[in-house]
Amino acid sequence: KPIKTMSHFPLVKQLSAFVADKNTRNLLLETHEPSEEGALEDIFDGKVFRDRKQELFPNILDIPVSLFIDGFSAFKGSLPAQERYKKEHMLQVAIIPGDHNGDLYTFLRPLLNELQTLEAAGMRVTCPDGVFTFNVHLMLTSGDIIGVQEICHHTGHTSQYGCRQCRIKTIPHVSPSGNGIGHYYRGTVTMSDPREMNEFIDGDKGFGIKKATEFATLQSFHGHTFFGLDELHLIGANCSRKIWLMISSEYKNVNCTIELPKQVCLSIGSAIIKSGSTIPSSIFKGSFRDVTRKTGLLRSVDWIVFMQFILPTLVFEQLIKKYGNNAPQVEAIMAFVIGCSTALKWKITQQNIIKIKS
């Protein structure tokens, strides 16, 4: 008798139905072209895809896919960017038990077997208007921090080498909440060197990769860039939320340089509520909520709305009043907003990239 069971929906069968539908197939056949030179509008504009395109995707119907392992459990294909996130264009391949004790690959093995077959032998779909043959390659695995950590066998973001993509070393320090010791990154001007591909192919315990990742057996594996991180978790639930906790003096055990008095924070929350009647809420994915009284109720998407629209206006105004226009911490907050907001765009131009780096 198995200790745990899961629901598995074969990827091959779902892709067959996907390609058999003429409307979806026509979307797959569309050729992506950036709207301007050097612009990043999709995975197809990135260096990783362009470097591997001729090798992995010689036929127009060959499909690159990305795997997301978290609360969304979604699978996306090479549809136009504005189409692939619609529910009808997502493929759910498994429902994995939440308490799987870190042995994620026990449940991913059926999917890995399918991916190895699809990249090597491909598949053939017979439709009323013809026979279509194509290969499928996995180009990205992503999800929340814990999900990605399990995928690449990383020791985790609270370990000595807490970044899955580079070898930056953390330092131990009392956590801001005062509950135990955490691991934190020192600010540096230069970026740490990215991890070498062999660290994931062979494992590197000395630098936080416990063992080889099974995804490294795929032809399409390309090292540290193979492992993404979902923007809802990274920018919303983590970074933006932590910024507000620092501003609102929730961390009593650190000398925070961006704190605002309690009454000022309450006034920001009240201003958000008062502005509700003037906001066309239907055009926003998140909600404008009182961050001072309902901090624990905000979703990741709500924190992104806070970062994009509340932080650079109501909060920024109060930070300038207290610390001054040119205070380094005020400039750092605005740089954070600009960087994250740019990263969330559907289209990133060369000018955007220059602005972020400057």
Instruction: For 281-339, write each residue's pLDDT tens digit.
Output: 666 666 777 888 778 788 888 899 899 999 999 999 999 999 998 999 999 999 999 99
In this structure, the answer to whether residues 142 and 18 fall within a common structural domain is yes
Q: Over the chain, what is the mean pLDDT?
A: 84
Decide which of 126 and 8 is more confident. Answer: 126
Give the pLDDT confidence of 34-59 residue by residue, as tens digits.
677 788 888 888 889 999 999 999 99
Choose the final residue of a domain: 103, 123, 150: 150
Q: Which of 124-138, 180-194, 277-291 has the highest mean pLDDT?
A: 124-138
Burial environment of residue 205 by CB neighbours within 10 A (0 to 12, 13 to 18, 19 or more): exposed
Q: Is residue 295 part of a domain?
A: yes
What integer pLDDT is reported at residue 76 of this predicted model? 41
Decide which of 71 and 342 is more confident. Answer: 342
Distances (CA, A) of 36 to 46, 136, 176, 189: 14, 28, 45, 31
Decide which of 126 and 230 is more confident. Answer: 126
What integer pLDDT is reported at residue 346 of this predicted model? 84
Other beta carbons within 10 Å of 337: 20
In this structure, the answer to whether residues 130 and 45 fall within a common structural domain is yes
154-163: long-range contacts, CB 8 A cutoff, minimum separation 24 = 154/208, 154/209, 154/210, 155/208, 155/209, 155/210, 157/183, 158/182, 158/183, 159/183, 159/208, 160/208, 161/207, 161/208, 162/208, 163/192
Within 300-349, where are the H helices? 300-305, 316-323, 328-343
Average pLDDT over residues 125-133: 90
Model confidence band, residue 77 (pLDDT cutoffs 50, 70, 90): very low
Give the rounded distance of the alpha carbon of 85 from its chain centre: 14
Decide which of 67 and 70 is more confident. Answer: 67
Angle, CA 262 vertex, CA 256 and CA 268 arms, to 5°: 105
Q: How many domains does the chain have?
A: 3
Report percent pLDDT > 70 for the chain: 87
Average pLDDT over residues 112-141: 93
Model confidence band, residue 27 (pLDDT cutoffs 50, 70, 90): confident
Choose the final residue of a domain: 116, 150, 184: 150
Give the pLDDT confidence of 155-174 residue by residue, as tens digits.
998 899 999 999 999 988 88
In this structure, the answer to whether residues 32 and 50 fall within a common structural domain is yes
Whether residue 203 is predicted with pLDDT greater than 90 in this model: the reply is yes
User: Cβ distance 48 to 139 under 8 Å?
Assistant: yes
In this structure, the answer to whether residues 240 and 208 fall within a common structural domain is no
CA-CA-CA-CA dihedral for 177, 182, 183, 185, to nearest 10: 10
Q: Is residue 218 part of a domain?
A: no
Average pLDDT over residues 226-233: 87
Whether residue 99 is predicted with pLDDT greater than 70 in this model: the reply is no
What integer pLDDT is reported at residue 102 of this predicted model? 55
Tokens of 204: 């590197």
In this structure, the answer to whether residues 181 and 106 fall within a common structural domain is no
Choose the final residue of a domain: 122, 150, 178: 150
Say how many CA atoms lie within 13 Å of 92 toward its Cβ: 13
Q: Is residue 79 part of a domain?
A: yes
Average pLDDT over residues 59-79: 67
In this structure, the answer to whether residues 21 and 94 fall within a common structural domain is yes
In this structure, the answer to whether residues 104 and 165 fall within a common structural domain is no
3-state secondary structure at position 156: coil
User: Cβ distance 268 to 291 under 8 Å?
Assistant: yes
Q: Is residue 1 part of a domain?
A: no
Whether residue 71 is predicted with pLDDT greater than 50 in this model: the reply is no
In this structure, the answer to whether residues 34 and 163 fall within a common structural domain is no
Q: Is residue 286 part of a domain?
A: yes
What integer pLDDT is reported at residue 284 of this predicted model? 64
Report percent pLDDT > 90 for the chain: 40
Q: Is residue 219 part of a domain?
A: no
Q: Is residue 267 part of a domain?
A: yes
In this structure, the answer to whether residues 144 and 43 fall within a common structural domain is yes
Give the pLDDT confidence of 236-271 residue by residue, as tens digits.
888 999 999 999 988 877 778 899 999 999 999 999
Other beta carbons within 10 Å of 339: 16
Give the rounded distance of the alpha carbon of 325 from its chain centre: 32
Ranges 111-125, 213-227, 277-291, 332-346: which has the least confidence:
277-291
Q: Which of 96-100, 181-185, 286-290 has the highest mean pLDDT?
A: 181-185
What integer pLDDT is reported at residue 75 of this predicted model? 38
Tokens of 61: 């119907």
Decide which of 99 and 209 is more confident. Answer: 209
What integer pLDDT is reported at residue 120 of this predicted model? 95
In this structure, the answer to whether residues 96 and 196 fall within a common structural domain is no
In this structure, the answer to whether residues 20 and 139 fall within a common structural domain is yes
In this structure, the answer to whether residues 239 and 347 fall within a common structural domain is yes
What integer pLDDT is reported at residue 139 of this predicted model? 94
Q: Is residue 119 part of a domain?
A: yes
What integer pLDDT is reported at residue 280 of this predicted model? 66
Domain span at residue 350 reads 231-357
SS (H, E, C) 39-97: CECCHHHCHHHHHHHHHHCCCCCCEEEEEEECCCCCEECCCCHHHHCCHHHCCCCEECC
3-state secondary structure at position 177: coil
Whether residue 149 is predicted with pLDDT greater than 80 in this model: the reply is yes
